[in-house]
Amino acid sequence: MTQVLPVILCGGSGTRLWPLSRAGFPKQFLVLSDNDSKYSLFQQAIERIHSVADAEIELGTTLIVTNEEHRFLALDQLREMKNASKMLQTALLLEPSGRNTAPALTLAAFYAQDRAAGTNSDPILVVTPADQTIQNPAAFTQALQQAIQLASDGAIAILGITPSAPETGYGYIKTKTQEAGKNAGEFTVERFVEKPDAGTAKQYLAEGGYFWNGGMFVLKASVWLAALKEFRPDILAATQTAWQAKEQDLAGDAVFVRPGKDLFNAIPSESIDYAVIEKCPNSTYPIKMVALDAGWNDLGAWDAVWQVGKQDQDGNVTSGDTLLTNAKNTLVHASSRLVSAVGVENLIIVETADAVLVADRKHSQDVKNIVSQLAEQQREEKNLHRKVARPWGWYDSVDEGERFKVKRIQVKPGASLSLQMHHHRAEHWIVVKGVAEITNGDKVITLTENQSTFIPQGQTHRLANPGKTPLEIIEVQSGSYLGEDDIVRFEDTYGRS
């Protein structure tokens, strides 16, 4: 029986899909492609890898490598999946900062080896980004099972995407001629090549033997660590030091693993490809490729979302409350209101509660420039939506003006906000649904629908939901400063104090 650990690399920010994808809620947690389950890209990635289990392949703990700030987004979506399948076992390896994919995979390899200690097993890691989509899951499963077989024999296996166009946005894998006796679609890798210009990309397709590098790898934990020791011993040593300083705690039925923060931040930032994979051809580490022709897309920009979407007879892809007339080859995504388009072609139109994007489809990669301008101007729209997810639920800033802000707040059953105070604002709370337990100074009171209370400026307070249904309140803030950083936390269930 082959032991396999899925590894989901979940650290991207997806700036080219702004305004839907933002630093506080990046693209991997969005439902962007059509699927009957309405799963996010992150959930789809987990579901795809779990499809490889069969009589010969046994899946172990699914390892999620993600940013500390996104741990509860990942945890909530994992719990949605567990409601459908009680078999999902997960551990979240939490990065205090992004150091690219090589340190991320190294964390997973150390976890795998720690769990396998004393068992004489050497688990195979199946590594995939969390932000891709596949239109033919059966073809993906078959290719991945082939790659697992190659890895079980000691090779590093990579999935190579059969190119459908002379794409300049991907690196390419150059393969040797199919070897006699090998399974169909299995190749030895000759070399890796950088993102080409348009002319070179056309030449690659004409020659054949070139595949897109989709960033999906299958290899034994021991093989990765040995190759990293040879090619980038500095990354291995620094990551091992951070791993040895790790802390671990439980979040319900999931495990949070935190490497040493300052030690992890000192690790050289490098990708899996540059650190190891591109150095493997013609080395002592055999690297093989399995061809994948399964409708793969990394949804790197809004034009890619249009390409994989369900197009109507005019080539339009729509989501939400939309009305189109005399429009062609256009994507319209409405989040919070009616969006209409008349007489347009080849556009991207994306509406959220606090921002609207209109772009020419062929320039959709340049959305990152808007995000850069938002960062330079220190605007909140770069990082957060108007509706912000929190570990205890969410809040939606529905209105604000000089010296006031109005929020709609929902608290999950059994959850609570931190025990906190504000230096510059007071708050009025009105319960509109459910039951609220409120700490207000040295008093603890219970409020039900249509009841309210006042939290004076500087008063210690906490909001909790003791019930079994969601709690909703309206919060009216008033004061000289209403920023989210005016919070002093004294106690917090989620480790933020």
pLDDT at residue 455 above 90? yes
The predicted pLDDT at position 35 comes to 60
Average pLDDT of the chain to the nearest whole number: 93
What would the pLDDT profile of 379-423 be if each residue is shown by its tens digit? 999 999 999 999 999 999 999 999 999 999 999 999 999 999 999
Distant-in-sequence, close-in-space partners of 50: CB < 8 Å, separation ≥ 6:
6, 59, 62, 88
**Spatial separation of the C-alpha atoms in residues 10 and 65, rounded to whole Å:** 6
pLDDT at residue 299 above 80? yes
Domains and CATH numbers, the chain: 2-297 (3.90.550.10), 302-372 (no CATH), 387-491 (2.60.120.10)
**Spatial separation of the C-alpha atoms in residues 95 and 433, rounded to whole Å:** 37
**Spatial separation of the C-alpha atoms in residues 80 and 220, rounded to whole Å:** 30
Count CA atoms closer than 13 A to 306's CA, side-chain side: 23
The predicted pLDDT at position 33 comes to 67
The predicted pLDDT at position 497 comes to 62
What would the pLDDT profile of 228-237 be if each residue is shown by its tens digit? 999 999 999 9
The predicted pLDDT at position 88 comes to 79
The predicted pLDDT at position 433 comes to 97
Largest CA distance in the chain: 79
The predicted pLDDT at position 55 comes to 86
DSSP string, 479-490: ES---TT--EEE
What is the phi/psi pair of residue 239, to 5°? -70, -40
The predicted pLDDT at position 311 comes to 95
- Higher confidence at residue 283 or residue 179? 283
Taking CA atoms, 44 is separated from 10, 50, 215, 239, in Å, by 12, 10, 16, 29
pLDDT at residue 181 above 60? no
Enter the pTM of the model.
0.92
